[in-house]
């Protein structure tokens, strides 16, 4: 069994156990017992449960993004020894010189959460420093700053303003999906948004244009 297959075996065992008991109560011993492997095998691939949760998300998202976008649109981290860097985590989908249309990315993001909703609902409740929630914030904060730089396209905006916009919109989209994932009465995480499908980047572009206009007055 190759490394990826072993990691998938561990991941599937963990997700399955989370359907039988609360995620917090699932131990490494429970996981290795279900896989038939030993603790040494688990720790060879994953430092702890938090790392396993993050790997599951990155693997799930990577598969969905690769099915929806051409390779040229996919965004990866710089390669490291960490296996998650082999999976794409974001896209760059231009709709103009200074415009981005990432509506399909957010649909993919919701699709991933929907696919293992019970598992991700539990994982996203955790708010520790190494939790999935905080990992996603750090990951997409930098992605949003990159998007702002693309929209600016060599126009000036103070670093403080860029940081504010990146944090505001990152928190907006993450909290929206985290909250919907946790609401039992909501069947689909991604309702048909109609003309607002690209609201994050349309709003960013509009705010940046307004700031540039005010600056030039």
According to the model, what pLDDT value does residue 216 have? 66
Q: Are 30 and 67 within one domain?
A: no
Residues 158, 105 share a domain = yes
Q: What is the pLDDT along the chain (217 residues), one digit of tens a residue?
A: 699 999 999 999 999 999 999 999 999 999 999 999 999 999 999 999 999 999 999 999 999 999 999 999 999 999 999 999 999 999 999 998 899 999 999 999 999 999 999 999 999 999 999 999 999 999 999 999 999 999 999 889 999 999 999 999 999 999 999 999 999 888 888 888 889 999 999 999 999 999 887 776 4
Query: Following DSSP, what letter does each residue of 98-145 receive, concatenated?
Result: TEE--HHHHHHHHHHHHHTHHHHHHHHH--STTSHHHHHHHHHHHHHH
Indicate whether 80 and 18 sit together in one domain: no
What range defines the domain where residue 159 resides?
48-216
pLDDT at 214: 79
Residues 27 and 95 in one domain: no
- Residue 181 and residue 79 share a domain: yes
Total number of domains in the chain: 2
Domain identity same for 92 and 134: yes
State residue 1's pLDDT score. Answer: 66
State the DSSP code for 96: E
pLDDT at 207: 94
Instruction: Check whether residue 3 and residue 63 sit in a common domain.
Output: no
H or E stretch including 74?
strand 74-75
Nearest residue to 83 via CA among 51, 113, 106? 51
Same domain, 21 and 71: no
Question: Do 88 and 132 reside in the same domain of the chain?
Answer: yes
In this prediction, residue 201 carries a pLDDT of 96
Q: In sequence order, what DSSP letters do the residues of 138-196 get, joined into one string?
A: HHHHHHHHHHHHHHHTT----HHHHHHHHHHHHHHHHHHHHHHHH-TT-S-SS---GGG
My answer on whether 167 and 110 are in the same domain is: yes
**CA pair distance 87, 110, nearest whole angstrom:** 17
pLDDT tens-digit map of 136-165: 999 999 999 999 999 999 889 999 999 999
Tens of pLDDT, residue by residue over 127-138, are 999 999 999 999
Query: Tell me, what CATH number does 170's domain have?
Result: 1.10.357
């Amino acid at each position: 069994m190759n490394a990826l297959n072993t990691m998938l075996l561990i991941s599937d065992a963990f997700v399955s156990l989370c359907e039988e008991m609360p995620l917090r109560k699932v131990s490494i011993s429970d996981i290795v017992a279900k896989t038939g492997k030993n603790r040494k095998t688990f720790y060879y691939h994953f430092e702890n449960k938090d790392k396993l949760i993050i790997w599951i998300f990155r693997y799930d998202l990577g598969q969905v993004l690769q099915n929806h976008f051409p390779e040229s649109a996919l965004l990866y981290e710089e390669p490291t020894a960490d296996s998650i860097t082999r999976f794409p985590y974001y896209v760059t989908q231009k709709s103009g010189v200074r415009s981005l249309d990432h509506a399909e990315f957010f649909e993919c993001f919701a699709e991933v959460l929907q696919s293992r909703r019970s598992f991700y609902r539990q994982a996203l409740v955790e708010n520790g420093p190494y939790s999935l929630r905080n990992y996603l914030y750090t990951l997409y904060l930098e992605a949003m700053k990159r998007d702002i730089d693309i929209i600016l396209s060599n126009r000036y905006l103070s670093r403080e303003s860029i940081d504010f916009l990146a944090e505001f919109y990152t928190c907006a989209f993450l909290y929206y999906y985290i909250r919907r994932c946790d609401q039992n009465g909501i069947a689909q995480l991604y309702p048909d948004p109609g003309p607002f499908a690209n609201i994050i980047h349309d709003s960013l572009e509009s705010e940046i244009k307004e700031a540039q206009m005010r600056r030039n007055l």
